[in-house]
Amino acid sequence: MKVIFFFVFLCKIGVLTYVAVATACPKPPQVANAAILNELRIYEPGQEVVYTCLTGFISIRGPKKLVCPKTGRWGFPMLLCERRSCPAVDSPLNGGFHATDLKFQSIMTFSCNEGYILKGANISICQHDGTWSTAVPVCEPVTCPPPEVPTYGKIHYYEPRAENVSLLNDVVQFECLYRTALIGNSTAYCMSNGNWSQIPECQDVICPYPGDIKNGHLVYAHRRDYSYREVLRYACKTTFTLDGPMEITCEKNGEWSSKPSCKASCIIPVKRGRILYNTRKLWIEDIPDQTVQHADTVFFYCKDEKNNCGYPVSAQCVDSVIKVPDCFKEPTYLQYNVRYGSLPSEIEQCKNSF
């Protein structure tokens, strides 16, 4: 009887020991975006673990508590913590915004349309309490202050708006005072950053005395330095022709515009014959000194032997040289004196163009 009682006693002790170890709950499971309040290393059956959503997150589903069961195995936590939302905002007038979403830690970026500039913060962050960190900014029209006037210059055109300001793409035009050169663009624009584009400079420009040219000379010019836009004139010696512009101008780079040159006249290298010059048929001896000016064109008459007709061929005087066409045949003394005989210039002219 004593033996049986002792065995039963030992069994009870074993059962009690087994139950005590098996029902203790280990560290509770973690919940995304949540923390455990007063976390313990071991939980006894019936003890609660309390979860709380992290800052910036709110509970949208499930209980915040779990109870340690007698089995010693935690149940699956159903709590769901989601980022807190911030309210939707309106786009700034004449602008817009961009954001991936409207939840905690999201960043909203603001921008303005062309011609407007942002007044206020260009970003706003969704905070933990569901409010935005900054107010919606304002898009104000871009304005430029009155432009600076370059030294030795003045404003040629400028029409400011109300309050003496200019708006995007408004223009101002400058010009320089007498004998100063405008370096840069004469027109500036009001830019999107509220500044004017590059303002030009007005610089004093000096051109040295240019000197004479070969077979020519300056007309009424003094040996001195000349200022921007001053003009000098050249002329050629007798029997020479000016090739190029008669006048040269002092330019903004301190150099003169292209000088002309003096080209020599041409003596027609033919003693007998008739030519077409300045729309007139002339005998060579009727041309003063048998000379034509540089760049002038004369026509020598050639003969088409097959059709027995004459035709003119051009030749140009180029700086003392004029090349007589190969087809031209200078008449003999007798042919020339008869004149109205068989000279190519006097017979019937060919109908075809040569």
Say whether pLDDT at 308 is over 80: yes
* Same domain for 175 and 147: yes
Whether 47 shows a pLDDT value over 50: the answer reads: yes
Regarding whether 64 and 53 lie in a shared domain, the answer is: yes
Average pLDDT, the chain: 90
Is residue 343 helix, strand or coil? coil
> What band does 297 get if pLDDT is binned at 50, 70 and 90?
very high
Q: Which of 204, 237, 255 is the last residue of a domain?
A: 204
SS3 state of residue 10? helix
Q: What is the pTM of this model?
A: 0.57
Distance from chain centroid for Cα 172: 19
- pLDDT of the residue at 218: 96
What confidence score (pLDDT) does residue 341 get?
A: 67
In the beta sheet, which residues pair with residue 160? none
Task: Write the pLDDT tens digit of every residue in 81-123.
Answer: 999 999 999 999 999 999 999 999 999 999 999 889 999 999 9
- Same domain flag for 232 and 278: no
Are residues 137 and 151 both part of a single domain?
no
CATH of the domain at 162: 2.10.70.10
Q: Residue 155 falls within a domain, yes or no?
A: yes
Average pLDDT over residues 44-55: 95
299: in domain? yes
Judge if 128 and 151 occupy the same domain: no
- Which of 204, 225, 245 terminates a domain? The answer is 204
Average pLDDT over residues 5-20: 42
Q: Could you say which of 82, 110, 133 is where a domain stops?
A: 82
The answer to whether residue 321 is domain-embedded is yes
Q: Which residues pair with 82 in a beta bridge?
A: 58
* 350 domain residue, yes or no: no
Q: Please give the residue that has the higher pLDDT: either 55 or 346.
A: 55
pLDDT tens digits along 129-140: 999 999 999 999
Residue 14 belongs to some domain of the structure:
no
Q: How many domains does the chain have?
A: 5
Residue 164 to residues 80, 118, 143, 146, 158: CA-CA distances in angstroms?
60, 21, 10, 7, 11
User: Is residue 18 included in any domain, yes or no?
Assistant: no
Over residues 184-228, the pLDDT tens digits come to 999 999 998 899 999 999 999 999 999 999 999 999 999 999 999
Q: Which H or E run includes 11?
A: helix 2-22
What pLDDT is attached to residue 125?
A: 97
- 8 occurs within a structural domain: no
Number of C-beta neighbours around residue 83 at 10 A: 20
Q: Is the pLDDT of residue 9 over 50?
A: no
Give the pLDDT score at 14: 44
Residue 353, pLDDT > 70, answer no
Place of tokens 């101002």: 172
Residue matched to tokens 């007309």: 219
Give domain status of residue 2, yes or no. Answer: no
Co-location of 240 and 282 in the same domain: no
Local structure of 181: helix, strand or coil: strand
Type of residue found at 68: C
pLDDT of 179: 86
pLDDT number for residue 1? 39
Inform me whether the pLDDT recorded for 22 exceeds 70.
no
**Where in the sequence is the domain holding 125, given as residue range(s)?**
95-141
Residue 19 has pLDDT above 50, yes or no: no
Residue 162 to residues 138, 166, 293: CA-CA distances in angstroms?
A: 20, 8, 65
**Average pLDDT over every residue of 305-323:** 94
Answer yes or no: do 270 and 334 share one domain: yes
- Cβ atoms of 206 and 230 within 8 Å: the answer is no
